[in-house]
C-alpha cells in the first residue's frame, strides 16, 4: 500500500481526475438505468407531453394566429415548447430526489466516495439531463406530424441546444434541491418560478409589444433562449421566429452561459452548505 501523501503531485492529480470521472460515470449511468428500468415512469414521461400537445395545441388551434408567420399553426408553434417542457420536467423530477437521496440514499455513499463534490454535481446533472434528452428524442418521432420534416431539422443545433439546456436546468434543479433541502420548498419554487418561466419562454405564446412587462420578463428568462434555439433548429418558419427576439447565435450563447452558471451555482452550493 502506498501512502497517498508520498505520491508525486502529478500522479495524485491524474488519479484524482480518474476518481472524478468514475464518480461522474456512476451517477450518469445510474439515472439512465433507473429511468429505463421503470416502465410506468417512461410511459408517464412520454404520455404527458403528448396529451399536453394534443389538448392545448388542439384547443388553441382555431384561435391562435402567429403574426410573424401566419402559416404556422398552433400545433406546430407549440411543438418546440413541448420539447423544452420535457427537458424541464425531467430535470425537476430528477433533481427533487436529491433532497432525500443525500441523507438517506445512494447519493450519500457517492458523497463519501473518492470523487470530488464538483464531480457529484456534474455526474448528477448529466445523468438527469440525459433522461430528459432520451424522452425528447422519443417525442421527436412525432416531428413530422407537427409539420417538421426529419430531413429539414438542423440536428447538430438541436442536440446542442437541448443538451446544454438539459444540463443547465438539471444543475439549476440540483442547486435548488441542495439549498432548499426540503421537498415542500422545492415544490413551491417549482410552482412559483420554474413553471411560470416555462410559460413565459415563448413555449406557449410569442412575446407581444402590447405587454412590455411580459416581453421584458421573457427576454430575461434563460428558458426563452432554449425555446428559441430549438425553434431555430427545427426551422419553424423561414424567418427568425420572434421568440425573445433572439438570433441563433445569441440563443446558443445565452444557453451556454446559463448552463455554466448553473453548474457553478450547484458546485458552490455543494461545497458551501454541507
CB nearer to another protein: give 110 or 122. 110
Q: How far is the CB of 116 from another protein (least distance, A)?
A: 7
With cell 413555449, the residue in question is: 203
Side-chain half-sphere CA neighbours of 22 within 13 A: 12
Residues of span 36-75 touching another protein by CB under 8 A: 37-38
User: Of residues 98, 99, 110, 171, which one binds another protein by CB under 8 A?
Assistant: 110
DSSP helix, strand, coil percent of the chain (3-state; round to 5): 80, 0, 20
Residues of span 2-21 touching another protein by CB under 8 A: 3-5, 16, 18-19
Cα–Cα nearest to 72, from 190, 271, 222, 241: 241
CB nearer to another protein: give 21 or 261. 21
Please report whether residue 114 would count as binding another protein according to CB under 8 A: yes
Q: How far is the CB of 37 from another protein (least distance, A)?
A: 6
Residues of span 78-107 touching another protein by CB under 8 A: 103-106
Q: How far is the CB of 169 from another protein (least distance, A)?
A: 23
CB nearer to another protein: give 107 or 146. 107
Q: How far is the CB of 109 from another protein (least distance, A)?
A: 4
Burial of 260 (0-12, 13-18, 19+ CB in 10 A): middle
In whole angstroms, give the CA distance from residue 227 to residue 82. Answer: 9
Collect all residues with Cβ–Cβ distance below 8 Å to 132 and sequence separation of at least 6.
86, 87, 88, 89, 90, 91, 94, 162, 166, 169, 170
Cell of 237: 418558419
Please report whether residue 22 would count as binding another protein according to CB under 8 A: yes
Q: Count residues contacting another protein (CB under 8 A)?
A: 31
Q: How far is the CB of 182 from another protein (least distance, A)?
A: 16
Please report whether residue 183 would count as binding another protein according to CB under 8 A: no
- Kindly give the interhelix angle for 74-95 and 222-234, rounded to the nearest 10 degrees: 130
Q: Where do contacts with another protein occur on this chain (CB under 8 A)?
A: 1, 3-5, 16, 18-19, 22-23, 25-26, 29-30, 33-34, 37-38, 103-106, 108-116, 274
Amino acid at each position: 500500500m502506498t501512502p497517498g501523501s508520498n505520491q508525486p503531485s502529478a500522479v495524485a492529480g491524474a488519479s484524482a481526475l480518474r476518481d472524478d470521472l468514475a464518480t461522474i460515470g456512476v451517477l450518469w449511468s445510474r439515472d439512465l438505468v433507473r429511468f429505463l428500468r421503470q416502465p410506468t415512469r417512461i410511459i408517464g414521461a412520454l404520455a404527458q407531453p403528448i396529451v399536453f400537445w394534443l389538448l392545448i395545441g388542439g384547443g388553441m388551434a382555431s384561435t391562435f394566429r402567429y403574426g410573424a408567420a401566419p402559416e404556422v399553426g398552433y400545433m406546430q408553434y407549440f411543438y418546440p415548447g413541448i420539447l423544452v417542457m420535457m427537458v424541464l420536467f425531467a430535470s425537476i423530477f430528477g433533481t427533487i430526489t436529491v433532497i432525500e437521496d443525500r441523507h438517506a440514499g445512494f447519493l450519500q455513499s457517492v458523497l463519501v466516495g473518492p470523487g470530488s463534490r464538483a464531480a457529484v454535481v456534474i455526474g448528477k446533472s448529466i445523468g438527469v439531463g440525459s433522461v430528459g434528452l432520451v424522452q425528447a428524442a422519443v417525442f421527436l418521432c412525432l416531428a413530422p406530424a407537427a409539420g417538421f420534416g426529419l430531413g429539414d431539422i438542423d440536428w447538430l443545433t438541436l442536440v446542442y441546444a437541448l443538451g446544454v439546456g438539459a444540463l443547465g436546468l438539471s444543475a439549476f434543479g440540483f442547486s435548488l434541491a441542495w439549498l432548499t433541502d426540503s421537498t415542500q420548498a422545492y415544490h413551491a419554487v417549482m410552482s412559483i418560478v420554474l413553471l411560470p418561466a416555462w410559460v413565459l419562454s415563448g413555449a406557449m405564446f410569442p412575446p407581444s409589444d402590447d405587454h412590455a412587462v411580459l416581453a421584458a420578463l421573457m427576454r430575461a428568462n434563460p428558458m426563452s433562449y432554449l425555446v428559441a434555439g430549438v425553434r431555430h433548429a427545427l426551422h419553424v418558419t423561414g424567418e427568425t421566429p420572434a421568440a425573445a427576439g433572439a438570433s441563433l447565435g445569441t440563443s446558443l450563447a445565452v444557453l451556454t452561459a446559463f448552463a455554466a452558471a448553473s453548474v457553478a451555482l450547484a458546485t458552490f452550493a455543494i461545497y458551501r452548505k454541507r
